[in-house]
């Protein structure tokens, strides 16, 4: 039986898609896991853009409308992870999400881990994603508006009986408006990862390559790999050489 893990945030733009793409690519390529990443952000999707897979003629939007078969939609990325992309077309944006649990069940048949890249805010995409998963990772940035939205998501996950694995703080700078301790206290939840603000992330998206493979020794890549390992219960600690290269930025 696959583990189905939703990546949620409440607030938009905090780094859900970046996390899903890089956790998925790490688990598939570096840890040899069978992983499927599913874009459940059907109205403002961008998972396929991170991976250069936005030319797909068939998407989850077609699956949800029962206009395509699962095996005709799923694609394999170069990292080895399976991808169910969502449509980036305006005309496909309005779709009834109620068939999402069936799509996720289908993905579970061929995966050890299914990761859901969810939509911001608390609309039907988020609620059906919560109904489709057993576990959740909550992403926030170290600022009050993101953390307040993260707290709402933690409470909502609890209402839906979804186990929260922890909070990931993304885009961490040298000096942040909220400290890790303050975020822990507000969310009353374990913080499982700190991912630094890293301008290589944006560059990797532009190149359609997950940063863990485009810039494997960047500080954010090491943090994303450690997070992927933690989620999968694998052991990974950057070697002294990886740490050294990440400090040098090469």
- Between 106 and 214, name the residue whose CB sits nearer to ligand ATP: 214
The rounded distance, in Å, linking the Cα atoms of 218 and 137 is: 22
Q: How far is the CB of 14 from ligand ATP (least distance, A)?
A: 5
Q: What is the phi/psi pair of residue 131, to 5°?
A: -70, -20
Q: How far is the CB of 59 from ligand ATP (least distance, A)?
A: 16
The single-letter DSSP state of residue 119 is: P
8 Å CB contact between 36 and 84: yes
Confirm or reject binding of residue 16 to Mg ion (CB under 5 A). yes
Q: How far is the CB of 105 from ligand ATP (least distance, A)?
A: 24
Confirm or reject binding of residue 17 to Mg ion (CB under 5 A). yes
Q: How far is the CB of 69 from ligand ATP (least distance, A)?
A: 27
Please give the order of strands across the beta sheet that includes 35-39: 75-76, 82-84, 35-39, 113-117, 3-8, 135-140, 163-172, 191-196
Radius of gyration of the chain (CA): 17
> Judged by CB under 5 A, which stretch of 15-23, 31-39, 180-188, 200-208 contacts Mg ion?
15-23
- Between 48 and 111, name the residue whose CB sits nearer to ligand ATP: 48
- Between 122 and 197, name the residue whose CB sits nearer to ligand ATP: 197
126 binds, among ligand ATP, Mg ion, none (CB under 5 to 8 A by kind): none
- Between 9 and 132, name the residue whose CB sits nearer to ligand ATP: 9
26 binds, among ligand ATP, Mg ion, none (CB under 5 to 8 A by kind): none
8 Å CB contact between 88 and 45: yes
Q: Residue 108 has which token pair?
A: 């579970």
Half-sphere exposure of 195 (CA within 13 A, CB side): 31
Closest to 177 (Cα-Cα) out of 151, 147, 148, 142? 142
Instruction: Kindly list the residues in this chain that would bind ligand ATP in the complex (CB under 6 A).
Output: 9, 12-18, 41, 46, 120, 170-171, 195, 197-198, 201-202, 205, 220
151 binds, among Mg ion, ligand ATP, none (CB under 5 to 8 A by kind): none
Q: Among all chains, which residue has been given the structure tokens 């998501």?
A: 153
- Between 106 and 153, name the residue whose CB sits nearer to ligand ATP: 153
Confirm or reject binding of residue 79 to Mg ion (CB under 5 A). no
Q: How far is the CB of 99 from Mg ion (least distance, A)?
A: 21
Q: What is the phi/psi pair of residue 78, to 5°?
A: -55, -25
The rounded distance, in Å, linking the Cα atoms of 186 and 212 is: 30
191 binds, among Mg ion, ligand ATP, none (CB under 5 to 8 A by kind): none
Q: How far is CA 58 from CA 53, 74, 109, 180, in A?
A: 11, 9, 20, 42
Chain mean position to CA 132: 15
Q: How far is the CB of 114 from ligand ATP (least distance, A)?
A: 17
- Residues found near Mg ion in the complex (CB under 5 A): 16-17
């Amino acid at each position: 039986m696959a583990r189905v893990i939703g990546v949620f945030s409440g607030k938009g733009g905090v780094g859900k898609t970046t996390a899903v793409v890089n956790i998925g690519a790490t688990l598939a390529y570096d840890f040899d896991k069978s992983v499927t990443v599913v874009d459940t952000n059907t109205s403002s999707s961008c998972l396929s853009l991170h991976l250069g897979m936005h030319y797909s003629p068939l998407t989850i939007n077609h699956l949800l409308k029962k206009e395509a078969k699962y095996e005709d939609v799923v694609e394999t990325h170069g990292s080895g992870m399976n991808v169910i992309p969502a449509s980036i077309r305006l005309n496909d944006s309005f779709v009834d999400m109620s068939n999402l649990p069936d799509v996720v069940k289908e993905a579970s048949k061929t995966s050890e881990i299914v990761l859901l890249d969810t939509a911001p805010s608390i609309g039907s995409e988020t609620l059906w994603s919560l109904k489709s998963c057993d576990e959740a990772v909550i992403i926030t940035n170290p600022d009050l508006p993101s953390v307040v939205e993260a707290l709402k998501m933690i409470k909502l996950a609890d209402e839906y009986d979804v186990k929260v694995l922890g909070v990931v703080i993304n885009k961490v700078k040298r000096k942040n408006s909220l400290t890790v301790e303050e975020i822990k206290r507000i969310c009353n939840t374990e913080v499982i990862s700190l991912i630094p603000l890293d301008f290589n992330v944006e560059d990797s998206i532009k190149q359609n390559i997950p940063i863990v493979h485009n810039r494997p020794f960047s500080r954010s890549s090491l943090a994303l790999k450690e997070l992927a390992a933690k989620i999968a219960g694998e052991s990974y600690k950057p070697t002294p050489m990886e740490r050294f290269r990440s400090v040098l930025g090469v």
